[in-house]
Amino acid sequence: MIRQERPAVIWSTYPIATAHLIGWMLHRLTKVPWIADFRDPMVEYNDRENYYAPRNPSVRRARLRIERLCARNAAYAVFCTPGARRIFIDRYPDFPAHRALVIPNGYDEAAFAGLNTAAPGDARAPNTPLTLLHSGVLYPGPDRDPSAFLNAVRQLIDESPEWKHRLRIRFRASGHTSTYSALIARLNLQEIVELAPSVPYRNALAEMTAVDGLLVFQGYTSNPAIPAKVYEYLRARRPILALVDAEGDTAALLHRLRVGTVLPIDESEAIKAGLDTFLRNLNAGTAAILSAKDCQKFERARGAAILAQILDTITTDERR
């Protein structure tokens, strides 16, 4: 195919590690410039518990060998977040930093066409409950665990009983209904928390734009990542309650944009206090959301334009 089509660039994408191995081999055979795209870091070090991920030494060594091939041979390395880029640059300081680029995830504007764009609270009748939504899978374990949040909800209702009638929480397509239904029952939150089934993608986006607030859960082991749903949340223009690590890239993004309430995922007392403030701001209509103009920075067409510039640079260099 390369002989027939004569491409100007080879592009390979992880997390299929062998894709980079194939990209390197084709580059070596043909001398066509190669771009290595990393959706996630190939190997991470957990400095709080002192272990590497993946834990399997054989898998880790194999990934590092492939990653070194990328660092030595790729014309560019592309990452989704600053944290992922930083891991790569720190591990391979000889790689030219200006050729390690961040193209963030984003949202597709066409997918939002025709959906509700009313300001938060505009569509909600007076005295109706506030609805918070998490859209997508919630993995059991520290990385996406909603247990501390649910305990905080229980504590908040016990201390301020009015929230029992004024708050509703929906976990849409959590993927682990049996696990969370038992926890919800133990905390006696069946009237508050709903475990809702999967819906088509457009319906999920429409739901994001219709609720009062949006939830995201992310433990510190995913600090170099930003969930793709965060960009859809920003475009939905609803206030965000982020249960994330303060040192992670998701927290950094929300702080930089000056939107969202950031709370620790695993500290019930802190969540309870922050949740109470968040709900009162929702009720008052004072919670911050991203402007329509600033949302456009995360439209996928912007990312495509950055990629196009990289491809133009490579093809221009080759012609020289």
Cβ–Cβ contacts within 10 Å for residue 117, how many? 12
Q: What is the pLDDT of residue 92?
A: 97
The amino acid at 35: I
Q: Where in the chain is the domain with CATH 3.40.50.2000?
A: 2-106+299-319, 109-297
Query: DSSP string spanning 21-65?
Result: HHHHHHHHHH---EEEEESS-SSEEETTTTEEES--HHHHHHHHH
First-to-final CA distance of the chain = 24
Rounded to whole angstroms, how far apart are CA atoms 15 and 68?
Answer: 15
Phi, psi torsion values for 96, nearest 5 degrees: -60, 120
Is the pLDDT confidence value at 29 over 60?
yes
Per CATH, the homologous superfamily of domain 109-297 is: Glycogen Phosphorylase B; (3.40.50.2000)
Report the relative pairing of strands 130-135 and 213-218 from DSSP bridges: parallel
The mean per-residue pLDDT over the stretch 77-102 comes to 96
The mean per-residue pLDDT over the stretch 177-190 comes to 95
pTM of the model: 0.91
Tokens found for residue 203: 């319906």
The mean per-residue pLDDT over the stretch 92-104 comes to 95
Q: What is the pLDDT of residue 140?
A: 84
Q: Give pLDDT tens digits for 187-243.
A: 999 999 999 999 999 999 999 999 999 999 999 999 999 999 999 999 999 999 999
The amino acid at 297: K
The proportion of the chain whose per-residue pLDDT surpasses 90, expressed as a percent, equals 87
Rounded to whole angstroms, how far apart are CA atoms 223 and 244?
Answer: 8
3.30.1330.10, 3.40.50.2000, 3.40.50.150, 3.40.50.280: which CATH number matches 2-106+299-319?
3.40.50.2000
Q: What is the pLDDT of residue 124?
A: 57
Of 123 and 31, the structure prediction assigns the larger pLDDT to: 31
> Scanning the structure block, which residue is given the tokens 């929906």?
170
Is the pLDDT confidence value at 57 over 80?
yes
